[in-house]
Amino acid sequence: MSTPRAPRWSVPLPDLAGMRAVVTGASDGVGVEIARAFAGAGADVVLPVRNRGKGDRAIAAIRATAPEATLTLIDLDLADLSSVAAGADALLAEGRPVELLVLNAGMIALRDPVRHTSVDGFELHFQTNHLGHVALVDRILPLLRAGGARVTVQSSLAARFHRVRFDDLQLEHGYSAFRAYGSSKVALSLFALELGRRSTERGWGLTTNVSHPGIAITNIGPAEMRDAPGAVARTARRIMDAGVGGTPAEASLPAVFAAASPDAVAGGFYGPGGFLGLQGPPRRRRPYPSIVDANAARRVWTVSAKLAGLTWGGRRAGASG
Ligand SMILES: NC(=O)c1ccc[n+]([C@@H]2O[C@H](COP(=O)([O-])OP(=O)(O)OC[C@H]3O[C@@H](n4cnc5c(N)ncnc54)[C@H](OP(=O)(O)O)[C@@H]3O)[C@@H](O)[C@H]2O)c1
């Protein structure tokens, strides 16, 4: 979780004092840096974590640059819907509106050819990267509405190469970790699109957009890519060995910009501005076709609500489309 060199780029943020930000996946990598940016601008930041020890270390790292920051851990494992519900309930019990939400947590099991399922029975990438986040948003919707929240989802370059396979959502056939990861990121991105649309339609007051970090040297990058088989990992290894890619702090900037800059727009797609979006200062980018398909977004919403038993403020899952 260390930051090896000073970031080459920065994002000026407004004063976020008095705002509450929730950042998933802030126990490591890019998420620590997103949380650090918000804390540095004065926000009170909640870190939902599945590992308290790592959460404590992340808080200590953030305090090194933002000593006055208000930082809170809640226990939340995205791969367990009962844990997501409990974590969300902890936030609901406090009752504080949430102004910024970044759905950044993610995993990829490139070195493991075996398909795994969560305790809830869903393919692990699908649940961790997508469904757990959707369940979190469903549960804390009252707080997001109260805060007029900006919701940013962390996608990936991998989303460019994949789509949601509605006929095999759990990748029971032809599983590969890269496919599972890529389609989970497409699903999450489409969820953001539909959440924004529904919010406008129903007057929830939320705005949503999508970011991706490019290539960042974190756990998910080198550790998974280093020994992974296959052409994708080989290419990624070459890219990283050539020194391309941002530090976690640099790679956090598209999400930081998307979530908190006054210049970021609802529905925008933000990523590094350099060659192929691998690294560079954050810019608005042209979204991949897979993440702007309105019909697919509606299907993702409906099927996710059904699978996770979501209610969206009391409505039956999937009701009203
Ligand atoms: N690094 C890249 O090159 C790259 C490229 C494209 C997209 N991304 C995306 O950027 C985001 C941040 O990744 P990163 O590079 O910072 O990776 P990372 O260093 O591995 O951090 C991932 C974070 O997600 C958390 N997480 C994983 N599974 C979880 C679960 N079941 N419940 C709760 N939290 C969980 C991890 O928690 P623990 O600390 O407990 O493991 C960690 O805080 C991810 O969404 C990733 O897909 C990264």
Q: pLDDT tens digit string along 2-36?
A: 445 788 999 999 999 999 999 999 999 999 999 99
Does residue 34 sit within a domain?
yes
Does residue 109 sit within a domain?
yes
Structure tokens at 134: 């959707």
* CA gap 39, 15 in Å, rounded: 10
Does residue 228 sit within a domain?
no
Give CA angle at 35 (1, 313), nearest 5°.
130
Does residue 178 sit within a domain?
yes
Q: What is the pLDDT of residue 3?
A: 45
Atom of ligand 1 nearest to the CA of 25: 43
Does residue 243 sit within a domain?
no
Active site residues: 181
Q: What's the pLDDT band for 160 if we cut at 50, 70, 90?
A: very high
Q: What is the DSSP code (8-state) at residue 123?
A: B
Atom of ligand 1 nearest to the CA of 80: 31
Atom of ligand 1 nearest to the CA of 129: 45
Instruction: Indicate the pTM of the whole model.
Output: 0.95
Closest CA to 258 of 3, 11, 5, 2: 11
Dihedral over alpha carbons 152, 155, 160, 165 (to 10 degrees): -100
Mean pLDDT of the chain: 93
Give CA angle at 288 (111, 33), nearest 5°.
60
Number of Cβ within 10 Å of residue 84's Cβ equals: 28
* CA gap 80, 217 in Å, rounded: 27
Mutation pick for ligand 1 pocket among 120, 160, 218 (CB with most ligand atoms within 8 Å)? 218
Does residue 2 sit within a domain?
no
Strand partners of residue 223: none
Structure tokens at 79: 């791969």
Q: What is the pLDDT of residues 224-280, one digit of tens each?
A: 666 667 777 777 777 777 878 889 999 999 999 999 999 999 999 999 999 889 999
Closest CA to 210 of 150, 126, 270, 156: 270
pLDDT at 60 over 50: yes
Residues in the ligand 1 pocket, defined by CB under 6 Å? 25, 27-31, 50-51, 54, 76-79, 104-107, 128, 154, 156-157, 212-213, 215-216, 218-221
pLDDT at 287 over 90: yes
Helix axes 294-308, 132-139, angle to 10 degrees: 80
pLDDT at 222 over 90: no
Does residue 11 sit within a domain?
no
Domain residue limits at 199: 20-213+248-308
Q: How many domains does the chain have?
A: 1
User: What's 272's domain CATH number?
Assistant: 3.40.50.720
* Position with higher pLDDT, 104 vs 320: 104
Structure tokens at 191: 């969820």
Q: What's the pLDDT band for 1 if we cut at 50, 70, 90?
A: very low
Residue nearest to atom 23 of ligand 1 (CA): 25
* CA gap 23, 228 in Å, rounded: 28
Number of Cβ within 10 Å of residue 241's Cβ equals: 9
Q: How far is the CA of 304 from the centre of ligand 1 (A)?
A: 21
Q: How far is the CA of 64 from the centre of ligand 1 (A)?
A: 22
Structure tokens at 108: 């990829």
Mean per-residue pLDDT for 203-210? 98
Residue with token string 């280093």: 226
Closest CA to 102 of 270, 280, 293, 304: 270
Mutation pick for ligand 1 pocket among 2, 22, 24, 28 (CB with most ligand atoms within 8 Å)? 28
Helix axes 29-40, 52-63, angle to 10 degrees: 40
Q: How far is the CA of 67 from the centre of ligand 1 (A)?
A: 25
- Mind giving me the DSSP string for 64-100? TT-TT--EEEEE--TT-HHHHHHHHHHHHHHT---SE
Closest CA to 58 of 82, 74, 42: 74
Does residue 46 sit within a domain?
yes
Q: How far is the CA of 185 from the centre of ligand 1 (A)?
A: 12
Mutation pick for ligand 1 pocket among 82, 133, 220 (CB with most ligand atoms within 8 Å)? 220
Rounded to an integer, what is the distance from CA 95 to the centroid of its chain? 23
pLDDT at 219 over 90: no
Gyration radius of the chain over CA positions = 18
* CA gap 237, 278 in Å, rounded: 13
Query: What is the edge-to-edge ordering of all strands in the sheet holding 71-75?
Result: 71-75, 44-49, 20-23, 100-103, 150-154, 207-211, 269-272, 282-284
Q: How far is the CA of 105 from the centre of ligand 1 (A)?
A: 4
Q: Percent of the chain at pLDDT above 90?
A: 82
- Look at residue 168 and give its three-state secondary structure: helix
* CA gap 121, 103 in Å, rounded: 22
